Each structure stands twice: as C-alpha cells, then as structure tokens.
Homo-oligomer: A and B are copies of this chain.
Amino acid sequence: MKDLLRAHFEKIITLTDSEFEYISSHFTHKKLIKHQFLIQEGETVKNEFFVLKGCLKSYMIDSDNKMHVLQFALPDWWISDYHALYKQVPSSLYIDPVESAEVLVISLEDKEKLCNELHKVEHFFRKKTNLGYVGLQQRVLGLINTDARDRYEQLIKQYPALFQMVPKQLIASYLGVTRETLSRLYKNPK
C-alpha cells in the first residue's frame, strides 16, 4: 500500500529499507468518500496529502458562490492548501475527492522533522517543489497568453485521464471558463 510512496521517493533519491520504514511511519492512511473534506475554508491546515487512488480537487468559492478549481491531484501527486499550510493562515480552499479516493497523510511538523533529520528527504522535497513551481509557471503562461480553446486542448493532451474521471464542469472551472463555454468549445472544433 505504501509501495507507491516508496517508488515516488525513489524517482529522486535512494532509500534503504529501514530509512523508508522510518519515513513511512510518519504517514497515516485514509480512505475518503465523495464529499468528505480534507480541508475546508476557514480551517487551520496542518497536513499535506499524497494521493494513492482516485482524484482530489482543491478549489475556492468566490463571493458570488462560484467554484474555482485550483488543482486536481491524481495518484502519485501531492495536494494541500500550501498558502495556508506554510503561512499558517486560515485556509481559503476546500479539498475533497472527485469520487472516492485514498491518501497518505503527513503533518507539516513531521515533514519538517524528516527534512531536518535526513538531508536526502529535504533534497527530495526541494526537487519536488521545484517541479511544482515549474508546473504552475506554465499554467500562468497558459492563462495569460492563450484562449480557452487552446488551454482546453493542451489539458486533454497532457492529462487524458482527467476526462474520464472528472465532470466537465470541474474541468471548465480549472480552465477558467464556464461549463457552457467549455461545452461549446468541443462541440464546435476549430
């Protein structure tokens, strides 16, 4: 069950059995059903989540009660409200599964402890955040310089799996358009 986590670490660093056992002892396993929130707006955030199964989403609700998806997280990826977690301010996001899901939970405190105790764990997380940073930067560029149709086409190319698992209104929200607009985009290809 924690094999996926080990493989995940070992894409970047190598670990002995005992090192991995020590690391993984700081994670707890959690099964989630639809509408079971890991994080809700206003809460203090203490944990970070590594996805084993299913798909999670993080999103905010704006003043007009509209939902805006910030992130999807598929297996082998991490999710949390990092703004709230790192700056210790109340969360502005909700995080819950798209359908059902399974995650491994680690507290920020334990993560920092591990980073402190094991240089290579700190190395791992630095590399990981670097990749996350690059991904977000690409997303910003996409939002700034391409129209909704291009963003849509890029997304299906990059994550075809999403289109099976995730309702189109959530994908529309992630792309920054309404579900009506998304519907029209792929009904009337270029």
Contact = CB atoms under 8 A, between A and B. Distances in A.
Contacts of A136: 133, 136-137, 140
Interface residues of chain A: helix, strand, loop or mixed (majority)? helix
A119 B116 CA distance: 9
A175 to B, nearest CB: 9
Contacts of A83: 134, 137-138
28 contacts: A60-B141, A62-B145, A66-B145, A68-B141, A68-B144, A68-B145, A70-B137, A70-B140, A70-B144, A82-B130, A82-B134, A82-B137, A86-B131, A115-B123, A115-B126, A119-B122, A122-B126, A125-B126, A126-B126, A126-B129, A129-B129, A129-B130, A132-B133, A136-B136, A136-B140, A140-B143, A143-B144, A143-B176
